[in-house]
Amino acid sequence: MTHLADLDPGARALLEQQTIEVPSWAYGNSGTRFKVFGSPGTPRDPYEKIADAAQVHKFTGHAPRVSLHIPWDKVDDYSDLAGFARDHGVSIGMINSNVFQDDDYKLGSLCNPDAGIRRKAVAHHLECIDIMRATGSHELKIWLADGLNYPGQDDLRSRQERLGEGLRQIYAELGEGERLVLEYKFFEPAFYATDIPDWGTSLVHCLALGDKAFVVLDTGHHAPGTNIEFIVAQLLRLGRLGAFDFNSRFYADDDLIVGAADPFQLFRIMNEIVIAGALSPDSGVNFMLDQCHNIEDKIPGQIRSIMNVQEATAKALLVDRAALAEAQAAGDVLGANGVLMDAYDTDVRPLLAELREEHGLAPDPLKAFRATDYLATIARERVGGQQAGWGA
């Protein structure tokens, strides 16, 4: 067990300044291909999603941005939506494109053999850049479902050339201070070959684009047994880690609450972040959740997620760097491992509770939120209309 006094001033400042972006889609109904379970009070439009996200920031103090997904979060007036967010104490974060749910994209978007469909996909991303500017955002996030189910279905190399050309057209429209972040995914919905299946492919395209292009690392988008913290370290070393999509997975891209499946992995990732100085607000690394809450309440699920990231971060900040370096230099294998394990095994909840109280927050954000009548109120008021869900 540790307390706030156990943190040196520099580490405390980093913990205080850490922010975590939340996704608008986490507040809608979601599920599997078998069933989507609805819940009372589910948002019916982007405004209500933002109102729910603002509750997460209100109780954690560390979730000031909300990512949008287009067209799921389309509105008539994006300036008004941004103003609504500001009035609720948050702002608009990344703008996420969607070129995987239109029938035209059955055989791909930017990689599609049909030039007309590729133009349509590029145009959608240019629309997202316009939305970025209207909402005050500076980042466009791209994830593509493009890929193949069967050998011979299309030419692998030609698809990479089309992808590169489409990305160049999008990148060319970015202005000063704007960024493109490119996500990857090991498999699904393409089961033979995915066009951006790994961090190396994403990095190759980002390097070709220029210094405004960065890799997005989704913690659920890897083959079993992948050493994710190695990827983190390599991308940080190259200055190309743009963002995280935090979640947990047991089998594949499960999108469960971050830290639920393997909290030690989350600690190891945050340890690499601390080593590289990437916890600093000016590091350019955006920490974001990308989760779907299928059976649990959405707002509590997001609050718990923020708390899990904070706990992993606090533990990483407690690592005795001098002792670790000494053990590593001496070849003391177990000693070096023990230094990391000592930090990981530390109960940092009292430390974080004290930090929250010093900032006027409840020591236990989840308990404090559950003591309110917010869920009962939205269940009573949000009657009628179309509930938001994954894909809506």
User: Which range has the worst mean pLDDT, 41-45, 49-53, 179-183, 250-254?
Assistant: 250-254
Distance of CA 271 to the CA centre of its chain: 18
Q: Which two tokens stand for residue 20?
A: 């975590």
Which H helix or E strand runs over 338? helix 333-344
Which band of pLDDT confidence, cut at 50, 70 and 90, is reported for residue 192?
very high
304-341 residue pLDDT tens: 999 999 999 999 999 999 999 999 999 999 999 999 99
- Cβ atoms within 10 Å, residue 377: 11
CB 233 within 8 A of CB 276: yes
Taking every pair of C-alpha atoms in the chain, what is the biggest distance, in angstroms?
A: 67
Q: Is 256 helix (H, G, I), strand (E, B) or coil?
A: strand
pLDDT (0 to 100) of residue 1: 79
Task: Report the C-alpha gap between 191 and 384 in whole angstroms.
Answer: 39
Task: Report the C-alpha gap between 241 and 364 in whole angstroms.
Answer: 31
pLDDT (0 to 100) of residue 388: 85
Single out the residue of 137, 142, 102 nearest to residue 120, CA to CA.
Answer: 102
Q: What average pLDDT does the chain have? A: 96
Alpha-carbon torsion angle 249, 254, 258, 263, nearest 10:
-20
211-234 residue pLDDT tens: 999 999 999 999 999 999 999 999
Average pLDDT over residues 5-20: 95
Task: Report the C-alpha gap between 324 and 184 in whole angstroms.
Answer: 33
- The strands making up 65-69's β-sheet, listed across from edge to edge, are 22-23, 65-69, 91-96, 139-142, 179-183, 213-218, 241-246, 286-289
Q: Which two tokens stand for residue 133?
A: 């500017």
Alpha-carbon torsion angle 371, 372, 378, 381, nearest 10:
120
CB contact set of 116 (below 8 Å; sequence gap of 6+): none
Task: Report the C-alpha gap between 180 and 162 in whole angstroms.
Answer: 18
CB 42 within 8 A of CB 387: yes
pLDDT (0 to 100) of residue 32: 86
pLDDT (0 to 100) of residue 391: 60
Which option is the CATH number for 18-320+362-381: 3.40.50.1820, 1.10.20.10, 3.90.480.20, 3.20.20.150? Answer: 3.20.20.150
Q: What share of the chain is helix, strand, coil (3-state, %, to 5)?
A: 45, 10, 40
Distance of CA 277 to the CA centre of its chain: 19
User: Which range has the worst mean pLDDT, 234-238, 258-262, 287-291, 387-391?
Assistant: 387-391
Q: Is 378 helix (H, G, I), strand (E, B) or coil?
A: helix
pLDDT (0 to 100) of residue 115: 98
Beta strand 65-69 pairing with 91-96: parallel
pLDDT (0 to 100) of residue 118: 98
Residue 262: what residue type? D
Single out the residue of 255, 305, 258 nearest to residue 57, CA to CA.
Answer: 305
Please check the confidence at residue 125 and state whether its pLDDT lies above 80.
Answer: yes
Average pLDDT over residues 361-374: 98
Please check the confidence at residue 98 and state whether its pLDDT lies above 70.
Answer: yes
Average pLDDT over residues 21-40: 93
Which H helix or E strand runs over 380? helix 374-381
Q: Which two tokens stand for residue 374?
A: 């917010």
Q: Which two tokens stand for residue 171?
A: 């990148």
Which band of pLDDT confidence, cut at 50, 70 and 90, is reported for residue 389?
confident
pLDDT (0 to 100) of residue 33: 83
What is 49-76 written as a DSSP string?
Answer: HHHHHHHHHHHHS---EEEEETTTT--S
> Helices (DSSP H) in 172-285: which residue ranges?
199-209, 228-238, 263-275
Whole-structure pTM value: 0.96
Average pLDDT over residues 54-65: 98
Single out the residue of 387, 391, 344, 390 nearest to residue 45, CA to CA.
Answer: 387
